[in-house]
A and B are shown apart, each in its own frame.
Chain A
């Protein structure tokens, strides 16, 4: 297999992750959001696994396995159960409209591509590509956290941001395995904390719409 084909496959997987990020921004049904998130995590696992295989870096297989197991299966299933228990099967409410969100997303993506490709001109092509797309995915995850009002989809935004971080870490050489494993498990812990928090919010305000928290602020009176 030659260099161009190896590049094409990793480009395909990273590109599809970016498309999944846009699908997350666009989608306003909560179960579909979860399915897209799971698909993005599986794509991430495939991208990391492809890197591990083609560049003989076997420790990356562990990262890929963690991505697949934790974020492709466990977290989506847990969030699914959480949504059923919270009873929020209805549409996701957004602060900004879909059109404006997507335009903002395109602007952020263009920005990160132009920025990373410019400042990493000396690095090798895998790193540049991975970093450029990873920064776009991270920014899109942040955008999703801003535009959503539902606490559960905000969690999905955070997790998708973390997918971007792992993609970036794969591109960069020399990330110790210990760090990766601990990051993966801290994400799992974060999920528990979020879950407890969301249930507390619901208990207190009868809603997971974080607009309800506005009333607690001291300055709104």
Chain B
């Protein structure tokens, strides 16, 4: 009984931890970009202020909006939050982790994207429609690569449960695995595309014909926009945590170790994601956005890397059998 309570408590801590750090990650990335552009930049806590301001403001809904338009932000937020709760952050073996593996996470994110695309088309403006259509194009290219990366890891660890994969990698002796390196490159490329970052999409603009994510949410305001912003920040944290837990799994503790050990795991986790946010900022200032028609080549590259990773894993397994 006591153990179940610990597991439940750990899961609750994780759910609120990801929710609390999500805006800070966006804030750190923006601050890094500002520093590199020799601008002063907004403080790191600015995204929190933005969210509070948006929640307080009046939500304006277009006349032609259906019920879907009002429901979608809450659904998207809930789906992103549940998905983020399933990724190991500071501890493995949390209560929810046995209810869903990494394929469930991909499915949850896919559902969130489906809702967002529907909401983008609901009002009937041309911007929303073009945004939805491009989002779907990116999704169809990114998802196969993502699944292949996941299958590579599953093949190596023998399980599709993320905590199981992380535990396996912590326990494994340190060696150079070329397939893991390829999977990492592929996953980073997919993460950039899925989170609407440069070079696929520019998160810092509302006024470009090439925008994708912002085009879909153009009609949202007030608390609806706050939900969507929070969901996309959660999604960024999810991908960063996923990469950290699969490729830098050191410092993750078992949940049974108790709250004192969690503090150590939590501190290392916060360090890892803050480092990732700074790297993302540096990446974004040092590269230009791609033309929309080159996105397929970029994600095709991710697919090739993921496919090679799985082929090389297969060779290793066959040869060393």
Contact = CB atoms under 8 A, between A and B. Distances in A.
Interface of A: 4-5, 7-9, 11-12, 15-16, 18-19, 22, 26, 98-99, 102, 105-106, 109-110, 113, 117, 125, 128-129, 132-133
13 contacts: A5-B175, A8-B175, A8-B176, A11-B316, A12-B176, A12-B178, A15-B308, A26-B301, A98-B297, A98-B300, A102-B301, A117-B319, A125-B319
Contact of B304 (A4, A16, A106): A106
A19 to B, nearest CB: 6
Contacts of A113: 311, 314-315
A8 B312 CA distance: 11
A9 B175 CA distance: 9
Closest 3 interchain pairs by CB?
Answer: A15-B178, A125-B319, A12-B178
Interface of B: 175-179, 182, 296-297, 300-301, 304-305, 307-308, 311-312, 314-316, 318-320
A132 B314 CA distance: 12
A12 B181 CA distance: 10
Contacts of A7: 319-320
B319 A128 contact: yes
A102 B300 contact: yes
Nearest to A118: B318
A22 to B, nearest CB: 6
Contacts of B176: 8-9, 12
A37 to B, nearest CB: 18
A125 B320 contact: yes
A129 B178 contact: no
A106 B10 CA distance: 43
A22 B309 CA distance: 13
Taking chain B's interface residues, is the majority helix, strand, or loop, or is none over half, making it mixed? Answer: helix
Most chain B C-beta atoms within 10 Å of own C-beta, residue among A9, A11, A99: A11
Taking chain A's interface residues, is the majority helix, strand, or loop, or is none over half, making it mixed? Answer: helix
Given A12-B176, A102-B300, 8 more contacts: A4-B175, A15-B179, A15-B182, A19-B308, A26-B301, A99-B300, A102-B304, A128-B318
B179 A22 contact: no
Given A4-B175, A8-B177, A16-B178, A22 B315 contact: no
A99 B319 contact: no
Contacts of A102: 300-301, 304
Contacts of B182: 15, 19
A106 B296 contact: no
Contact of B312 (A11, A99, A105, A117): A11
A133 to B, nearest CB: 7
B142 to A, nearest CB: 15
